[in-house]
Amino acid sequence: MKQVPFALTTLRLFLGPVALLCAIDRAPQYVYAPILATGTLSDIFDGIIARRFGVSTDRLRRYDSVTDVIFYLFVLAALWILRKPVIVANWWAIALLLASEVSVLAVSFAKFRKYPATHSYLAKFYGLCLLGALIALFASDSSAWSVIALAVVAFVTNAEIIAIHLLANSPPVDVRSVFRLRTRKV
């Protein structure tokens, strides 16, 4: 059971290319919801199981975070193939989302020289919003509302994660909220 968290994270790593291959092959729309749901569930349960079995290490949490980025980049590539007009029409919202993600990486590497693994409550909420927005985008030519709403949630979430990194004295891992951050006096 101690290998299950790593296996769940690795499963998500492989699901991204599966989504892209399905898009290239023009698989039916209903194929994407199980891929996205499985990716989200693996993201939820890898951490829960790791904590339950006492194998939740900073290294595993960072692997989880890197895997999230890789998974969603493959999903974005799949969307580009299947929903290019929606992506192009909402390029500015996607650019805001991606810029906020890159900003988190930049702050984390600048301050701690480590990949972020904050896993805040807002980040978990963002993950669920991401699932809903992506299913809406894959299932239909949904309007801009899902992309714009997702960009707003991403921006707010990543602003909090940046604040956590700026206030923390050591690389933050599994910090629930900026309001729950414990800082040391130096």
Looking at residue 183, its pLDDT comes to: 54
166, amino acid identity? L
Separation of alpha carbons 44 and 46, rounded Å: 6
- Which tens digits make up the pLDDT trace of 46-96? 989 999 999 988 899 899 999 999 999 999 999 999 999 999 999 999 999
Distance, first Cα to last Cα, the chain: 40
Domain boundaries, the chain: 1-82, 84-186
Query: What CA–CA distances, in Å, run from 51 to 1, 23, 123, 150, 163?
Result: 12, 35, 18, 29, 25
Q: Which two tokens stand for residue 86?
A: 């929606």
* pLDDT over 90 (residue 1): no
